[in-house]
Structure 1
Amino acid sequence: MIPFNYVLMCLIFGTTFLAIKVGIDAGVSPFFSAGVRFFLAGAILFIVMVIQKKARLSLLLRKEMMLTGLGLTFGVFASLYWAEQYVSSGIAAVLSATAPLMIMLLQTGITRQKMSASSWAGCLVGFAGVVILLVPGMTVAFSGIWAAGCVAVLLGQVFYSAGTVYSRRVIRRFSDTSPIALNAAQMLYGGLMLLLLSLFTEQVHMEAMLVPEAVFSLLYLIVFGSMTGHTIFYWLVAKTNPVFPSTWLYISPLIALSLGVVLYGEPLSLLSLAGGVTIIAGILLINLKSLRQLAGARSHLVERS
């Protein structure tokens, strides 16, 4: 069951970038679409958690839920949805894979701990991958709005890294509450913030939301991207450990890159492909110690069985 759910999670997370792109190209308002997605997904999951008595309504009154939603949902997806108006879903996915790099740098800055040689090497390799990935668009046919889109995705990962580091404290503080309920609460707040942003920055055309492509995109992202994918992730954390489920970051961006080219006809240069692979290699180097520990733990389990 664990291998099946892991593969399913990687496929789901790998397809969400293309699903966002399909909705954006159908004419939906980026912030409004993102807000509806996360508000509805968070509301449905939270109601289920309350019914199952795994969460209390008072959880929504805690400022920690709002702050986590600001980092993990609002900051990340406001940037991503806006950026996918101008960059391909594959490029957005690969740039999003820089999150572990930023998380490590942020944790190092906070704790003042020294990074290992492999971590420093991973940072340099990952940064080189970003440069290689961006070179074709910057030199062959420079577009200021394309570059801004790429920067926006990277900015979103800064929000994600801060939200991730903070959410780890929140999970420890609310250890008696299901992580799925905590995630649902932060999605509710993040979705509400996105809707407020849309209210002040966008002119929403509701007819665009009723286009078949837009409806499919929204339903897929609510049911699979936000509800199913994250539920599987937390299930895997409970059944294995925090490291193993996070390895989706090495697989899903390449799935997204491939799907964008094959199913949506997105352009892909050899340099962009090389940049994507280089970024993933950098992330692997950064997490080399954790991955070795994970491999050792799994081999130990095999020997015991």
Structure 2
Amino acid sequence: MSDTACTATPSSTFTDPRWMVPISLLSMYIIWGSTYLGIRYALASYPPFLLAAIRFAIAGVLLFAVLRLRGFALPTARQWRNAAIVGTLLLAGGNGLVCFAEQTVSSGIAAVAVASMPLFAAVFAGLYGEWPSRGETVGLLLGFVGVVVLNLGAGLSGSPLGAVALIGAAMAWAFGSVWSKKQDMPAGPMNTAAQMLCASVSLTVIALLHGERLPAHPQASATAALAYLIVFGSIVAFSAYLYVLKTVRPALATSYAYVNPPVAVLFGVAVAGEHVGPFDLARMAIILVGVGIITMMRTRKA
């Protein structure tokens, strides 16, 4: 056997799933877990809905341009319409409301509240005849108990508007995810690019109606946080997610739903000095156990 047959080239090593899957998963866990803290830093200068609008406009344009250069087809008129609806629900309603809530709620608590999204998704799926099984119902009840207890805790009880915004964000993301499965959406990553572009328009309209304006002299740290959200939070992490989604089982690909909240809490405590007490950790555990039961039941059913 020749040396060339025995030695792996750098390119083959770089594309080897044995290396790329763990690297991609780690990227998703750390980057998406840290975006909640990134939002908090960016909010020091940028208003919430305009922050999200800038983030998805730049990320959407960059991703769309790369995909077009690689030969991806343009979405049809129907696909653009559906992408606009889903993008408005997921990114404008989901991410925009998270940005709004983080003005008064810590990044770690925000991540825990958003982790309730699969609970609402299981309920909305019933609208299309996919009613939860007995095991999923147990997970739903447990998860919603965690959501209620979380809203009674110090992290959200002092900010009723922030609590409503976070629950609204989870519901918007859940309904958009369920509704999109029944629609004609753009193919592959073009779906995300189209949603980002459309959501940036919706977010700009919301920002103008909310009276938001670009800061005259934004802090350097806030602009750096915005750049981090654009490059890493919207492009790098999502690219890693797409790779994992087509390479491994869905249960592993979506495991970020369990890992992101603890990561967000750790970042908030270590970097921003946020306080998380034992009761907050217990509430987070209740929600994540409920989400875990639902996910396991759905994976077994599939």
TM-score after normalising by structure 2: 0.87
Determine if contact 1:50/1:57 at 8 Å carries over to the other structure. Answer: no
Determine if contact 1:133/1:274 at 8 Å carries over to the other structure. Answer: no
Who is 1:185 aligned against? 194
Q: Which of 98, 103, 113 lines up with 1:85 in the alignment?
A: 103
1:142 Cα deviation from its structure 2 partner: 5.1
Task: State the one-letter code of the partner of 1:110.
Answer: Y
CA deviation vs aligned residue, 1:33-81 (integer Å, no higher than 9, x gap): 1100011111110111111111326569731121111111111122111
In 1, the alpha carbon distance for the partners of 2:224 and 2:300 equals 40
Determine if contact 1:132/1:272 at 8 Å carries over to the other structure. Answer: no
Q: Which of 136, 154, 160 lines up with 2:153 in the alignment?
A: 136
Task: State the one-letter code of the partner of 1:277.
Answer: A
Q: Alpha carbons of 1:13 and 1:59: their partners in 2 closer, same or farther (altered >3 Å)?
A: farther
Hey, which of these two has a bigger chunk of helix by percent? 1
Q: Does 1:121 align with 2:121?
A: no
Structure 2 counterparts to residues 28-67 of structure 1, below 5 A: 28-56=46-74, 62-67=80-85
Who is 1:108 aligned against? 126
CA deviation vs aligned residue, 1:88-111 (integer Å, no higher than 9, x gap): 000100000011111111102321
1:243 Cα deviation from its structure 2 partner: 3.2
Task: State the one-letter code of the partner of 2:38.
Answer: A
Moved more, 85-94 or 3-12: 3-12
CA deviation vs aligned residue, 1:154-183 (integer Å, no higher than 9, x gap): 11111111110122234xx35xx5421111
Structure 2: tracts of 5 or more residues without a match: 1-19
Q: Which of 194, 204, 229 lines up with 2:203 in the alignment?
A: 194
Structure 2 counterparts to residues 226-241 of structure 1, below 5 A: 226-241=234-249
1:268 Cα deviation from its structure 2 partner: 1.2
Secondary structure, in 3 states, of the residue corresponding to 2:153?
A: helix
Secondary structure, in 3 states, of the residue corresponding to 2:162?
A: helix
Who is 1:7 aligned against? 26
In 2, the alpha carbon distance for the partners of 1:75 and 1:65 equals 14
CA deviation vs aligned residue, 1:253-293 (integer Å, no higher than 9, x gap): 11101111121111212111110111101100111234558
In 1, the alpha carbon distance for the partners of 2:81 and 2:51 equals 25
Determine if contact 1:17/1:256 at 8 Å carries over to the other structure. Answer: yes
1:186 Cα deviation from its structure 2 partner: 0.6
Who is 1:17 aligned against? 36
Secondary structure, in 3 states, of the residue corresponding to 1:198?
A: helix
Identity across the alignment (%): 29
Determine if contact 1:34/1:77 at 8 Å carries over to the other structure. Answer: yes
In 2, the alpha carbon distance for the partners of 1:169 and 1:8 equals 30
CA deviation vs aligned residue, 1:112-159 (integer Å, no higher than 9, x gap): x44222211111111121222232328xx953xx12101211111111
Structure 1: tracts of 5 or more residues without a match: 295-305
Q: Alpha carbons of 1:41 and 1:71: their partners in 2 closer, same or farther (altered >3 Å)?
A: same
Q: Alpha carbons of 1:59 and 1:49: their partners in 2 closer, same or farther (altered >3 Å)?
A: farther
Task: State the one-letter code of the partner of 1:193.
Answer: S
In 2, the alpha carbon distance for the partners of 1:198 and 1:136 equals 30
Structure 2 counterparts to residues 196-211 of structure 1, below 5 A: 196-208=205-217, 210-211=218-219
Q: Alpha carbons of 1:204 and 1:119: their partners in 2 closer, same or farther (altered >3 Å)?
A: same
Q: Which of 237, 245, 250 lines up with 2:253 in the alignment?
A: 245
Q: Does 1:160 align with 2:178?
A: no
